[in-house]
Structure 1
Amino acid sequence: MRGMFTFCPVCNNQVLSNELEWHVNSHFEEDELARDMELAQQVAMAPPSPTNSNSIEVDISFEDYGEASQASSSTAGKTNRDQEISHLAKVQLKSDFYRVEGGLLHLLRTCLYNEGNNCTSIVSGYVDHYQTLRSDRGWGCGWRNIQMLSSNLLHERKEAKKVLFGGSQFVPDIPALQRWLEIAWQRGFDQIGSSHYDRNIYGTKRWIGTTECATIFRSFGLKARIVDFDSTESGGSRMNGKKRGRYADLHGPMDKFVVRAVGSDTQTNSRSSDVIETLGRQVLVDWVWKYFTGSTSGSFDVSQRITVSEKTPLYFQHDGHSRTIVGIQMQKGFCDSEDRFFLLILDPGHKTADLEKALRRQKGWQGMIKRGPHTLKKPQYQLCYIDPGIVNSAEMEQLKTIDSTLVSF
């Protein structure tokens, strides 16, 4: 059987879908020595300089969690697991990141406001941008998006601040997040999906996606939800751990073990791929608009230039990459009285300093953050969001099965 092809997010060449993870990682592994040599030469030639508090080029170290990692192989029963959780909460490290004075989304809202009266935007209240570093290029975007969602939850929701990451009240680094995911698997969350990783993710460069994002947050009692957007023609879902449809060869974050809870009887077999693509774009954009506007108290006022949303950002996944949707903009009556929409997206692949510079100058930021429907060319997308509140013990058991809502087009 011939494998499916997809585009590499680094070189944009077509590769087999089941080789995508290896292919992307190889870009960075092959260049690692050359980059290190260049960096060593620069350091050797440069004069000593004071430490920059905004520096973020810090390699990931897994040594701090060695004791917790060893404990995972010998734990037996709830008591030992509770001890392991308590230990991890104490030894985990706060993730370093580039801090933007006043907050990145404050700068974004200012830029959106200055675009004029014909635009109305709704944006999340607070998000820190966690950029991909040299140490996690090619595989770290999923973890960086989890960190972005975590920064919003810790800042905006008191109930989440009490339970997330052992009550640490900060966003942990990637090694700690990997340990939290393993502990969630040990506690019975996403049993089917965890087998894809042999229940071992700590210290690896394995790609993760929406399911792992939901698993981490659900393990703390948060109501993480997944939504799948897919044409019924593709049939790319995975039910009860069994692949089916044209995406049977997919490997990576889009290869999920979720149970699709809601389906659509829309028939697409007779449609052209262009029609399906157009429908998919519109369905996704409409859903995002309703999601953010539905979070406001009372009816949403489209006459307002800027509205702050009470909803969490959206973990936005497609084959090969993931990003964070922090809001959406509508340009009213753009063409023939039709409104035009733009998703507002933070990409971990961008440098935070570049985002800050563009937003402060109010120049060039649109190309980095605004994404129109025409950019949505993938056949499948997944979103993860988090409803307010903490579940009780009975509901916690239900959260262990990772399910999703399927939106077909």
Structure 2
Amino acid sequence: MLLCELCGQALRTEPEMRRHLLRAHLEREPRCPLCSFSAPGYDELRAHVDSAHPEPGPGPAPAGSPPQCPFCGETGASGRQVEAHVRSRHGHLLDPPAPGNSQQLYECPMCDLVCANGQILQEHVDLHLEEHRFSEVDINVGGSLSDLELAQQIQNEEDRQQGLEEARREREEFQKLQRQYGLDSSGGYKQQSLKNMEREVARGRMQPSEYHKRKADMMESLAFGVDDGKTKTSGVIEALCRYYQNEIKDVRRVWLSTGVDHFHSSLGDRGWGCGYRNFQMLLSSLLRNGMYNDCLRDITLIPCIPKIQSMIEDAWKEGFDPQGASHFSNRLHGTKAWIGACEIYSLLTSLRLKCQIIDFHKPTGPLGTHPRLFEWVLSYYSSNRESGTKVVCTPKPPIYMQHQGHSRTIVGIEERKNRTLCLLIFDPGCPSQEMQKLLKQSNDDTSLKLLRKFVGSLKDKQYQIVAVDGELSPEEKVVRCQASQVFTAARIP
């Protein structure tokens, strides 16, 4: 082993010694290993060590800044104290090892110090890191501009993260609405029909032969654009008229619309098709009324749901309700998109049917009820309320009624003996087997429960109705198309 005469560092070979001398002593100003003194040359440094750091013993302390341990950074009141500290704690780094005892040396990655073991190196490097942290704090504290820039950087990063989070939430909400309203790419009536029929076969509820027959019927129906009639119930209004002719103790008078076929949702539109089914009900009544023959001369059969979607798209192409068309990206066909009062109005008006939207935008009675809605329906059906006839079969078509998440069809209204009102409603969610019970001659008062809705039964925040009352001339149709550029509805109250 070789011992550096300048700092006492033990080195194993002559090449290591040359490298040590070059890095530790030749490339920089010589520095005392026992204090912070720097010398202009090695002769001066050796003289300094001999005079300022003799062997431990009594003597005066040198003047100047507090000396510092070159290995761990600890300071002392005098050079002798630091020298004693170095020899007691780091003496193994100064004394050469015993002959024949090889020793691994550790070089500091941040300076040129070579340590005898890993623990000393770790302590030394920790000092470098701590000094670096303190220097960063001093820089930040010492300049207000750095504080301002740091605060701005933090704020910018928070704004960026917040913007990313808001964009993510908006994207998820949009996708949720797309799925909820059938505007995603999951297919429409045909795809849902096939999927649900395949599921019925897999569950053993439908035979494969029935599946193929119903698939063929559906494809034929879609090809001609007409409803297959499998969810239709006819004759209910006529049965109700006969029923009310009997002595009904609680009903003072009743007004019924013209004949209406009931259509309920099928495997192809379950969960989203109520608006289309209610249009089918309304159209089935209009086709029975001769005064609408001119408007409906091109429609002889009830269209299927995909055909109704195409008819609404045609109304948009004519210029009706551009805002609504934009909401659906001008496309309904092939989707499971819900429709509401505005789409029904646009379709009816495009057929030159005179109609209006009435918006009951807030409750008008106690406990969130809508008595003004009931009064409006009574006024619509009862052109002559003082007539002595108990059952009034009016020439009026049924009324389309929309509320949040669902739509139904109003086919009449009762005036009870206690002067309260009760709507008679066809619901697309009611299956055919339930509606057909109303056709039986043995009807009793309980069978009407699925149709009757009293004031306390309608408590949604908002209702919209679409009522047909006549036909439009071609010129009137153009005017209404232009008016639909900014869609408005009559509001009650």
Same fold (TM over 0.5): yes
Question: CA 1:63–1:149 in structure 2 vs 1: closer, same or farther (change >3 Å)?
Answer: closer
C-alpha distance in 1 between matches for 2:469 and 2:215: 31
1:140 paired residue among 252, 273, 288: 273
C-alpha distance in 1 between matches for 2:361 and 2:205: 48
> Given that residues 231 and 276 in structure 1 are in contact (C-alpha distance below 8 angstroms), is that contact kept between their aligned partners in structure 2?
no
Question: CA 1:193–1:98 in structure 2 vs 1: closer, same or farther (change >3 Å)?
Answer: closer
Question: CA 1:378–1:105 in structure 2 vs 1: closer, same or farther (change >3 Å)?
Answer: same
The answer to whether the aligner puts 1:351 opposite 2:427 as a matched pair is no
Residue in 2 that maps onto 1:39: 201
2:244 paired residue among 112, 115, 118: 112
The answer to whether the aligner puts 1:399 opposite 2:480 as a matched pair is yes
Residue in 2 that maps onto 1:366: 448
The residue type equivalent to 1:212 in the other structure is E
1:239-268 per-position Cα deviation (integer Å, ceiling 9, x unaligned) = xxxxxxxxxxxxxxxxxxxxxxxxxxxxx9
The answer to whether the aligner puts 1:211 opposite 2:342 as a matched pair is yes
The residue type equivalent to 1:372 in the other structure is F
Residue in 2 that maps onto 1:261: none
> Given that residues 221 and 227 in structure 2 are in contact (C-alpha distance below 8 angstroms), is that contact kept between their aligned partners in structure 1?
no
1:366-402 per-position Cα deviation (integer Å, ceiling 9, x unaligned) = 221011110111110000011113x223211122133
C-alpha distance in 2 between matches for 1:136 and 1:406: 31
TM-score by length of 2: 0.55
Residue in 2 that maps onto 1:380: 462
Whose strand fraction is larger, Structure 1's or Structure 2's?
Answer: 1
C-alpha distance in 1 between matches for 2:227 and 2:489: 33
Question: CA 1:377–1:19 in structure 2 vs 1: closer, same or farther (change >3 Å)?
Answer: farther
Name which of structure 1's ranges 110-119 and 378-387 shifts more when overlaid on structure 2. Answer: 110-119
The answer to whether the aligner puts 1:283 opposite 2:372 as a matched pair is yes
> Given that residues 352 and 477 in structure 2 are in contact (C-alpha distance below 8 angstroms), is that contact kept between their aligned partners in structure 1?
yes
C-alpha distance in 1 between matches for 2:300 and 2:229: 14
| Cα drift, residue 138 of structure 1 | 0.7
> Given that residues 112 and 306 in structure 1 are in contact (C-alpha distance below 8 angstroms), is that contact kept between their aligned partners in structure 2?
yes
Question: CA 1:230–1:44 in structure 2 vs 1: closer, same or farther (change >3 Å)?
Answer: closer
| Cα drift, residue 404 of structure 1 | 4.5
Residue in 2 that maps onto 1:228: 359
Identify unmatched segments of 5+ residues in structure 2: 1-172
| Cα drift, residue 140 of structure 1 | 0.4
Query: Which has more radius of gyration?
Result: 2
Question: CA 1:95–1:384 in structure 2 vs 1: closer, same or farther (change >3 Å)?
Answer: farther
TM-score by length of 1: 0.66
The residue type equivalent to 2:422 in the other structure is F
1:20-67 per-position Cα deviation (integer Å, ceiling 9, x unaligned) = 7845879x9999978744435244499x8xx9xxx9996578963xxx
Residue in 2 that maps onto 1:196: 327
Question: CA 1:188–1:111 in structure 2 vs 1: closer, same or farther (change >3 Å)?
Answer: same
For the residue of structure 2 that corresponds to 1:177, the secondary structure is: helix
Question: CA 1:230–1:21 in structure 2 vs 1: closer, same or farther (change >3 Å)?
Answer: farther
> Given that residues 343 and 371 in structure 1 are in contact (C-alpha distance below 8 angstroms), is that contact kept between their aligned partners in structure 2?
yes
| Cα drift, residue 113 of structure 1 | 3.2
| Cα drift, residue 108 of structure 1 | 1.8
| Cα drift, residue 98 of structure 1 | 4.7
C-alpha distance in 2 between matches for 1:200 and 1:230: 28
> Given that residues 141 and 349 in structure 1 are in contact (C-alpha distance below 8 angstroms), is that contact kept between their aligned partners in structure 2?
yes
| Cα drift, residue 122 of structure 1 | 0.3
Question: CA 1:152–1:205 in structure 2 vs 1: closer, same or farther (change >3 Å)?
Answer: same
Identify unmatched segments of 5+ residues in structure 1: 1-15, 65-90, 233-267, 269-273, 334-338
> Given that residues 359 and 365 in structure 1 are in contact (C-alpha distance below 8 angstroms), is that contact kept between their aligned partners in structure 2?
no
The residue type equivalent to 1:309 in the other structure is T
C-alpha distance in 2 between matches for 1:347 and 1:36: 27
1:46-97 per-position Cα deviation (integer Å, ceiling 9, x unaligned) = 9x8xx9xxx9996578963xxxxxxxxxxxxxxxxxxxxxxxxxx5324424
Question: CA 1:196–1:187 in structure 2 vs 1: closer, same or farther (change >3 Å)?
Answer: same
Question: CA 1:100–1:350 in structure 2 vs 1: closer, same or farther (change >3 Å)?
Answer: closer
| Cα drift, residue 406 of structure 1 | 3.2
C-alpha distance in 1 between matches for 2:205 and 2:325: 42
| Cα drift, residue 189 of structure 1 | 1.1
C-alpha distance in 1 between matches for 2:333 and 2:229: 19
Q: How does 1:319-358 map to 2 (within 5 A)?
A: 319-333=404-418, 339-358=419-438
> Given that residues 56 and 96 in structure 1 are in contact (C-alpha distance below 8 angstroms), is that contact kept between their aligned partners in structure 2?
no
For the residue of structure 1 that corresponds to 2:309, the secondary structure is: helix
> How many pairs are equivalent?
307
| Cα drift, residue 313 of structure 1 | 0.5
The residue type equivalent to 1:341 in the other structure is L
> Given that residues 60 and 174 in structure 1 are in contact (C-alpha distance below 8 angstroms), is that contact kept between their aligned partners in structure 2?
no
Residue in 2 that maps onto 1:160: 292
The residue type equivalent to 1:394 in the other structure is E
C-alpha distance in 2 between matches for 1:179 and 1:31: 18
Residue in 2 that maps onto 1:305: 390
Question: CA 1:134–1:319 in structure 2 vs 1: closer, same or farther (change >3 Å)?
Answer: same
1:317 paired residue among 371, 394, 402: 402
C-alpha distance in 2 between matches for 1:348 and 1:58: 21
> Given that residues 57 and 133 in structure 1 are in contact (C-alpha distance below 8 angstroms), is that contact kept between their aligned partners in structure 2?
no
1:210-247 per-position Cα deviation (integer Å, ceiling 9, x unaligned) = 11111111101111211000129xxxxxxxxxxxxxxx
For the residue of structure 2 that corresponds to 1:223, the secondary structure is: strand
C-alpha distance in 2 between matches for 1:118 and 1:178: 42
| Cα drift, residue 355 of structure 1 | 1.0
The higher-RCO structure (CA 8 Å, 6+ apart) is 1
| Cα drift, residue 345 of structure 1 | 0.2
The answer to whether the aligner puts 1:408 opposite 2:489 as a matched pair is no
For the residue of structure 2 that corresponds to 1:398, the secondary structure is: helix
> Given that residues 254 and 391 in structure 2 are in contact (C-alpha distance below 8 angstroms), is that contact kept between their aligned partners in structure 1?
yes
C-alpha distance in 2 between matches for 1:159 and 1:331: 32
